[in-house]
């Protein structure tokens, strides 16, 4: 199993995933476990559960499926989720900066890809015109 | 024109470096073609039939002379000495080597240009009309909000992998020359009773396989809310738009499936969380951007220029050109000029050589304020020309092959590159355009026929906007051979309409004769100086069908 990239105080750390933590889909989820969300899951209905969720993993069935970005944004900005938010599935270097901007703080890079290499994708471009989960003020309020 | 500040410069330069690295990784095999595809598309790079094609963004169709010279240099050094202006006001280079793309993008960055999001399932180039800021019938200048939207949508991390491409157009004139009703979001900007800037928001328009005109989702939206409202629409679309079938993935299908009321309610629910938040635009930001679009230092000129008047009287060719290609300007003594990129059968619509681009850049400086516009009809506009200079400009334009007096006429054909270049096409477009132009090469006849738009698309994706052409031609594939379906009655603007199919399709060589029969039917039924589209609306399709299919062999 591939290692994880985690952001610790905003800086990437490569570490092994905790093998004892169960990450299960919503239908099977029980308090204390990690919650695995598919792109069809409605994040806004999760509010009552969040206090008992260990962490949230959002699945990208394909890196071209962008629903996970909006799910992450909503979890962070609207539901106030402060815990770990992990991108899993088709997670690739060139999308990591967008994922980070949308509030992900851990990344399970696809197993056939080098994690050390993928870390380079986190930086992206330094300019964000609009706003994001981690920078809610658009550039025109920071310019 | 908008000038980049440090942030804008940093973004395009970093983006070039990022793409240079991605190209390197593709060439080394580290990235598969499947992984590279969306990355290159988001930098405007397509793989066409024969080579890579690079589509460079021309934000809301506005260029400086320096930028146009840079495009000319790129065409000369990296392509075959020409570029193709598109129906979305951009430019395409057709013969590009992958290895050279980072260098080309670096050249573009030097003149404040890029190819970001000119393709891919993301927010594309924001468009408005070519006469923004100068049109006599303009209500408000749409460019500041277009630039604000351009910035907001550029590398917006949440919306880079939408279900499908997403096009936003903005218009603020009595006549809608930006065709906002055929966009995913169309914004109509106007002044409220108290002088405030308001927006009518239209959603769910688009051509392609399922052509639909947009519907109003909100009216009277104060301009400060434009970003939060567009964000709400995009979030609803990103979450709920279909992803199982690319032909059903545009927002128009979602709007149609839910119904406009339910879709609007969903957007409203999302927007309630966003409005009055940090996304609300500030006066400071509006003023910062709007200051880039203040009118240039116009001279105080007489409305009537005697010399201009005498040239008009003496030169029929000039008079004709003025009639078709010169448009009213809001400042007395000035006019806007449309340079036709459709000289006839010799060249594909929208293709412009490096030498022509350089000449246009020179004219923009000599006769105007150094600014050039690209119209979605694929022609070039010089927005600010003194009437007294029109004659000299006309002569220069004729020498360069850009002086054809056919704007809005049958030979001003809008066409996609079609099967000669495009790997999506079912059929060729350019030879069809050339066949029609060769048949209708008599300018007297064309002027008699009057206003008539003819649009050609080589496939259902409808880059040639055939649905909104008065005459639309769509290339279709039938058992491996190329056929052409004809529609009549399409229109753009405030009275936008989708054309209707007249019947079975035709072989390429039949098309000019079919168009001739359609035109003959029109001239037979025409009342007074009626426009073609008005005759079609008045008499319906039957008389046209009857004439076209009377003795026509059809498959």
Q: Which residue among A70, A73, A127 sits closest to B7, beta carbon to beta carbon? A: A127
Backbone angles phi, psi at B68, to 5 degrees: -65, -35
Q: State how far the Cα of B96 lies from the Cα of B52, in Å rounded to an integer.
A: 5
Check residue B553 and give its pLDDT: 53
Task: Check: CB of residue A75 under 8 Å from CB of residue A67.
Answer: no
Check residue B305 and give its pLDDT: 87
Q: Which of B157, B163, B282 best probes binding to A when mutated, by most A CB atoms within 10 angstroms?
A: B157
> Which residues numbered 73-102 in A keep a CB inside 8 Å of some CB on B?
73, 78, 92, 94-95, 97-99, 101-102
pLDDT 10s digits, B266-277: 999 999 999 999
Task: Check: CB of residue B158 under 8 Å from CB of residue B195.
Answer: no
Query: What's the mean pLDDT in B208-217?
Result: 94
Task: Check: CB of residue B306 under 8 Å from CB of residue B356.
Answer: no
Q: State how far the Cα of B262 lies from the Cα of A95, in Å rounded to an integer.
A: 33
Distance from CA of A49 to the nearest CA of B (A): 21
For the beta sheet containing A56-60, the strands, ordered from the edge strand earlier in sequence to the opposite edge, are A11-15, A4-8, A106-107, A85-89, A56-60, A34-37, A23-25
Q: Which residue among A69, A70, A141 sits closest to B278, beta carbon to beta carbon? A: A141
Interface check for A110 against chain B (CB to CB < 8 A): the answer is no
The answer, yes or no, to whether ipTM is higher than 0.90 is yes
Residue B506, number of CB atoms within 10 A of its CB: 21
Chain A: residue whose CA lies nearest to B13: A125
**Per-residue pLDDT for B401 more than 80?**
yes
Chain B: residue whose CA lies nearest to A129: B152
DSSP one-letter string for A40-56 = TS-GGGGGGGGGG-S-E
Task: Check: CB of residue B179 under 8 Å from CB of residue B169.
Answer: yes
Continuous segment of H or E residues that includes residue B384: strand B380-386
Backbone angles phi, psi at B2, to 5 degrees: -70, 135
Query: What's the mean pLDDT in B306-321?
Result: 96
First-to-last C-alpha distance (Å) of chain B: 53
Q: State how far the Cα of B15 lies from the Cα of A123, in Å rounded to an integer.
A: 12
Q: State how far the Cα of B461 lies from the Cα of B479, in Å rounded to an integer.
A: 19
Check residue B555 and give its pLDDT: 45
Interface contact B281-A124, CB threshold 8 A: no
pLDDT 10s digits, B492-509: 988 899 999 999 999 999
Name the pairing type of β-strands B45-47 and B197-203.
unpaired
Nearest alpha-carbon partner for B155 in A123, A40, A116: A123
Chain B: residue whose CA lies nearest to A113: B30
Chain B: residue whose CA lies nearest to A79: B273
| Chain A residues lying within 8 Å of B157, measured CB to CB | 69, 97-99, 101-102, 128, 132
pLDDT 10s digits, B93-123: 999 999 999 999 999 999 999 999 999 999 9
Q: State how far the Cα of B66 lies from the Cα of B69, in Å rounded to an integer.
A: 5
Residues 6+ apart with CB under 8 A from B211: B182, B462, B467, B498
User: What is the band of B22 on the pLDDT scale with cuts at 50, 70, 90?
Assistant: very high
pLDDT 10s digits, A61-113: 999 999 999 999 999 999 999 999 999 999 999 999 999 999 999 999 999 99
Residues on chain B bordering chain A, Cβ-to-Cβ distance under 8 angstroms:
5, 7-8, 10-11, 14-15, 18, 22, 30, 35, 38-39, 121, 148, 151-162, 227, 231, 235, 238-239, 243, 273, 277-279, 281-282, 284-285, 288
How is domain B143-292 classified at the architecture level of CATH?
2-Layer Sandwich (3.30)
Q: State how far the Cα of B128 lies from the Cα of B285, in Å rounded to an integer.
A: 20
Q: State how far the Cα of B73 lies from the Cα of B56, in Å rounded to an integer.
A: 14
Give CA separation, A13 vs A2, A81, A101, B416, in Å.
Answer: 14, 21, 17, 49
Q: State how far the Cα of A134 lies from the Cα of A137, in Å rounded to an integer.
A: 9
User: What is the band of B364 on the pLDDT scale with cuts at 50, 70, 90?
Assistant: very high
Check residue B328 and give its pLDDT: 95
Interface contact B161-A138, CB threshold 8 A: no
Tokens found for residue B233: 């629409």
CATH number of A4-141: 3.40.50
Tokens found for residue B156: 């917006």
**Per-residue pLDDT for B299 more than 60?**
yes
Interface contact B157-A94, CB threshold 8 A: no
DSSP one-letter string for B421-451 = T-SS-SS-SHHHHHHHHHHT--HHHHHHH-S
Residue whose structure tokens are 């806004």? A44
| Chain A residues lying within 8 Å of B227, measured CB to CB | 130, 138
Q: Taking the mean position of all CA atoms in its chain, how far away is CA B507? A: 28
CATH number of B414-548: 3.30.413.10
Fold of B6-110: Sulfite Reductase Hemoprotein; domain 2 (3.90.480)
Residues 6+ apart with CB under 8 A from B486: B471, B472, B473, B474, B501, B502, B503, B505, B506, B514, B518, B548
Q: Which residue among A78, A98, A138 sits closest to B157, beta carbon to beta carbon? A: A98
Chain B: residue whose CA lies nearest to A70: B158
| Chain A residues lying within 8 Å of B278, measured CB to CB | 131, 136-138, 141
Residue span(s) of chain B under CATH 3.30.413.10 come to: 143-292, 414-548
Interface contact A129-B227, CB threshold 8 A: no
Query: What's the mean pLDDT in B11-22?
Result: 97
pLDDT 10s digits, A8-40: 999 999 999 888 999 999 999 999 999 999 999
| Chain A residues lying within 8 Å of B121, measured CB to CB | 64, 66
| Chain A residues lying within 8 Å of B284, measured CB to CB | 140
For the beta sheet containing B197-203, the strands, ordered from the edge strand earlier in sequence to the opposite edge, are B168-171, B185-191, B197-203, B215-222
| Chain B residues lying within 8 Å of A94, measured CB to CB | 22, 35, 39
Residue span(s) of chain B under CATH 3.90.480.20 come to: 6-110, 306-399
Interface contact A70-B7, CB threshold 8 A: no
CATH number of B306-399: 3.90.480.20
Q: State how far the Cα of B42 lies from the Cα of B36, in Å rounded to an integer.
A: 10
Q: State how far the Cα of B200 lies from the Cα of B187, in Å rounded to an integer.
A: 6
| Chain A residues lying within 8 Å of B30, measured CB to CB | 117
| Chain B residues lying within 8 Å of A135, measured CB to CB | none
Interface contact A67-B238, CB threshold 8 A: yes
Chain A: residue whose CA lies nearest to B155: A128
Task: Check: CB of residue B382 under 8 Å from CB of residue B372.
Answer: yes
Question: If you average pLDDT over every residue of chain B, what do you get?
Answer: 96
Interface contact A70-B243, CB threshold 8 A: no
Distance from CA of A38 to the nearest CA of B (A): 12
| Chain B residues lying within 8 Å of A71, measured CB to CB | 239
Q: Taking the mean position of all CA atoms in its chain, how far away is CA A65? A: 14
Q: State how far the Cα of B499 lies from the Cα of B485, in Å rounded to an integer.
A: 11
**Per-residue pLDDT for B540 more than 70?**
yes
Chain B: residue whose CA lies nearest to A114: B30
> Which residues numbered 13-42 in A keep a CB inside 8 Å of some CB on B?
none
Query: What's the mean pLDDT in B365-394?
Result: 97
pLDDT 10s digits, B165-210: 999 999 999 999 999 999 999 999 999 999 999 999 999 999 988 9
Q: Taking the mean position of all CA atoms in its chain, how far away is CA B281? A: 27
């Amino acid at each position: 199993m591939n290692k994880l990239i985690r952001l610790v105080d905003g800086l990437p750390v490569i570490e092994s995933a905790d093998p004892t933590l169960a990450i299960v889909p919503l239908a099977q989820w029980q308090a204390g476990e990690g919650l695995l969300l598919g792109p069809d899951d409605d994040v806004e209905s999760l509010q009552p559960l969040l206090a008992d969720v260990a962490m949230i993993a959002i699945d990208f069935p394909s890196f071209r499926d962008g629903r996970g970005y909006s799910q992450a944004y909503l979890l962070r900005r609207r539901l106030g989720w402060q815990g770990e938010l992990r991108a899993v599935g088709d997670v690739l270097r060139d999308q990591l900066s967008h994922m980070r901007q949308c509030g992900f703080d851990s990344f399970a890079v696809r197993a056939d890809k080098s994690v050390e290499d993928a870390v380079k994708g986190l930086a992206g471009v330094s300019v964000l015109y609009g706003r994001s989960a981690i920078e809610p003020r658009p550039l025109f309020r920071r310019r | 024109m908008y000038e980049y500040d440090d942030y804008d410069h940093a973004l395009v330069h970093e983006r070039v470096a990022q793409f240079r690295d991605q190209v390197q990784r593709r060439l080394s095999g580290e990235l598969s073609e499947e992984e590279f595809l969306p990355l290159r598309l988001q930098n405007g790079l397509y793989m066409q039939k024969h080579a890579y094609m690079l589509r460079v963004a021309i934000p809301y169709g506005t260029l400086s002379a320096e930028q146009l010279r840079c495009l000319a240099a790129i065409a000369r050094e990296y392509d075959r000495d020409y570029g193709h202006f598109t129906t979305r006001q951009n430019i395409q280079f057709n013969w590009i080597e992958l290895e050279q793309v980072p260098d080309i993008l670096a050249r573009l960055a030097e003149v404040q240009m890029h190819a970001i999001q000119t393709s891919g399932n993301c927010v594309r180039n924001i468009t408005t009309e070519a006469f923004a800021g100068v049109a006599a019938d303009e209500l408000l200048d749409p460019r500041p909000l277009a630039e604000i939207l351009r910035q907001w949508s550029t590398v917006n991390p949440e919306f880079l992998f939408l279900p499908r491409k997403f096009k936003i157009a903005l218009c603020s004139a009595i006549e809608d020359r930006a065709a906002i009703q055929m966009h995913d979001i169309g914004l109509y900007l106007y002044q409220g009773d108290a002088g405030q800037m308001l927006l009518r928001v239209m959603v769910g328009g688009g051509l392609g396989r399922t052509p639909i005109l947009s519907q109003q989702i909100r009216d009277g939206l104060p301009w400060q809310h434009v970003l939060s409202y567009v964000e709400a629409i995009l979030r609803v679309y990103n979450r709920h738009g279909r992803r199982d079938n690319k032909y059903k993935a545009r927002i128009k299908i979602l709007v149609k499936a839910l119904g406009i009321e339910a879709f609007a309610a969903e957007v409203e629910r999302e927007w309630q969380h966003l409005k009055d938040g940090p996304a609300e635009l500030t006066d400071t930001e509006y003023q910062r951007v709007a200051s880039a679009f203040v009118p240039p230092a116009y001279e105080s000129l007489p409305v009537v220029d005697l010399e201009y008047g005498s040239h008009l009287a003496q030169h029929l060719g000039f008079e004709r050109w003025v009639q078709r290609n010169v448009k009213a300007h809001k400042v007395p003594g000035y006019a806007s000029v449309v340079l036709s990129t459709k000289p006839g059968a010799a060249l594909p619509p929208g293709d412009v050589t490096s030498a022509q681009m350089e000449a246009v850049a020179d004219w923009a400086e000599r006769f105007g304020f150094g600014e050039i516009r690209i119209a979605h009809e694929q022609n070039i506009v010089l927005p600010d020309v003194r009437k007294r200079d029109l004659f000299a400009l006309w002569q220069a334009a004729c020498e360069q092959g850009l002086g054809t007096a056919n704007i809005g006429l049958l030979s001003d054909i809008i066409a996609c590159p079609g099967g000669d270049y495009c790997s999506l096409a079912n059929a060729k477009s350019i030879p069809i355009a050339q066949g029609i132009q060769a048949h209708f090469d008599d300018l007297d006849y064309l002027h008699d026929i009057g206003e008539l738009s003819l649009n050609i698309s080589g496939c259902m994706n409808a880059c040639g906007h055939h649905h909104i052409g008065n005459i639309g031609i769509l290339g279709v594939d039938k058992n491996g051979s190329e056929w052409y379906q004809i529609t009549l009655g399409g229109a753009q603007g405030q009275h936008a309409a989708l054309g209707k199919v007249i019947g079975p399709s035709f072989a390429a060589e039949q098309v000019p004769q079919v168009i001739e029969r359609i035109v003959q039917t029109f001239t037979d039924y025409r009342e007074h100086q009626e426009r073609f589209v008005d005759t079609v609306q008045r008499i319906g399709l039957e008389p046209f069908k009857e004439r076209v299919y009377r003795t026509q062999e059809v498959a």
